[in-house]
Amino acid sequence: MQTPVVEGLFEMSGGDGLPHLLISRCGQCGAVAFPARKRCAACCGTSLVVEEAPGEGTVYSWTVIRELGGHRAEFEPYVVAQVDLSAGLRVQGLVDAAPETVAIGQRVRTGLTAVPNAGMDPGVVTYCFVPAGEGTR
């Protein structure tokens, strides 16, 4: 049984076992945002609807976090990327792949992964990105 680490970021109800990121779309100006917002950052409008984001995108940039304050001992490095899912929708998330296989411009899709370094139950999962065309772990 896999439990999302926090409510409201993604849903796993699609029957395909994959996470679907939840974004907001402004009813006034069309601006999209992730995580979903209550008020539009672009026009300050308040009529926003929540919808599912595309499940595939392109790596905009990436890094490997090797240190985090208070975590230097027994720290598990992790890969983080910014991924462009559609026009104006750049999302940050963990990447479940070896650093040497990640590159700017690479096609990725959403998957699920454990939350590194947070001391959580392994059944607690978050969305991540994996190279498109690979199976989920």
Partner 1 sequence: MRRVAVVGVGMVAFGRHPERTLGELGADAVTEALGDASLGWKDARSMFCGVVGGGMTPGTRVGNELGLTGLPIVNIDNASASGSSAFRAAYMDIASGRVDVSIAAGIGKSGRSLGDLRPPASHGTAEYRANLAGWAQGAMPPAGVFALRSRRRMHDFGCTIEQLAMVAVKNRRHASFNPYAQLRKPLTVEEVLAARMIADPLTVPHCCPVGDGAAAAVLMSEDRARALGYGPLVTIEASVFRTPTLAGDTESQDADTTRLTCMEAYAEAGMGPKEIDLVQVHDAFTVEEIEYCESMGFCEVGEGERMVERGEMTIGGKIPFSTDGGLLSRGHPLGPTGLAQVWETVLQLRGQAGNRQVEGARAGLAHMVGVGGVCVIHILRRG
Residues near partner 1, by CB under 8 A: 4-9, 31, 35, 41-42, 60-71, 78, 80-82, 92-94, 99, 104, 115, 117-118, 126-127
Which of residues 49 and 68 has its CB atom nearest to Zn ion in the complex? 49
Residue pointed to by tokens 């929708």 = 89
3 has which bridge partners? Answer: 124
Q: Find which of partner 1, Zn ion, none residue 9 binds, CB within 5 to 8 Å per kind.
A: partner 1
CB 137 within 8 A of CB 109: no
Task: Name which of 49 and 118 has its Cβ closer to partner 1.
Answer: 118
Buried b (16+ CB within 10 A) or exposed e, 28-41: eeebbbbebbeebe
Residue 61's binding partner, choosing from partner 1, Zn ion, none, with beta-carbon cut-off 5 to 8 A by kind?
A: partner 1
Judged by beta carbon, residue 17 or residue 88, the one nearer partner 1 is: 88
Interface contacts to Zn ion, rule CB under 5 A: 26, 28-29, 31, 40, 42-43, 45
Exposure of 109 in the CB half-sphere (CA atoms within 13 A): 12
Shortest Å distance, C-beta 49 to partner 1 = 19
Torsion of CA 71, 72, 75, 79, to 10 degrees: 90
Residue 108 binding: pick among partner 1, Zn ion, none (C-beta 5-8 Å cut-off by kind): none
